Amino acid sequence: MKTIGIVGLGVMGASFAMRCKQLGYIVYGIDIDHETIEYALDHDMIDEGDTKGDGSLWKCDMVLLALYPTQLKSWIEQNQKELKPGTLLLEISGVKSNISKELQNILRPDLELLSIHP
């Protein structure tokens, strides 16, 4: 079964989490707010959750980044070491043409980043 990690469980991230669960994915949620994690668990949006991701990111085949564009670079720099080789990163932060190339340049060679706008 495919696993997906969702970083940021606000409106967009939570919506993706719910739909991924409906489709049968194992969903790991990461958010800085512990209450948000508890809410997502209580409402069956995610299978597991934590505030850092260091316990679950390595399990994921895909990681959806539902963060503000200004948070993307620091998140990737700090957390890509936690990702297993070949992880597909999907980011849905909005219009970000000014940072896409910079993000691609800091990624490990075995990771791929797809910038999308839902």
> Mean pLDDT over residues 85-114, rounded?
81
Q: What band does 115 get if pLDDT is binned at 50, 70 and 90? A: confident
User: Tens of pLDDT along 42-69?
Assistant: 999 999 999 988 888 999 999 999 998 8
CATH code, residues 3-115: 3.40.50.720
Residue 25: per-residue pLDDT: 96
> Mean pLDDT over residues 13-28, rounded?
96
Q: Is the pLDDT of residue 100 over 80?
A: no
Question: Which one, of 38, 35, 31, lies nearest residue 12 by Cα?
Answer: 31
- The mean predicted confidence, pLDDT, of the chain is 89
Helix locations, 43-116, DSSP H: 69-79, 100-106
Is 60:28 a contact under the CB 8 Å cutoff? Answer: yes
Q: What band does 97 get if pLDDT is binned at 50, 70 and 90? A: low
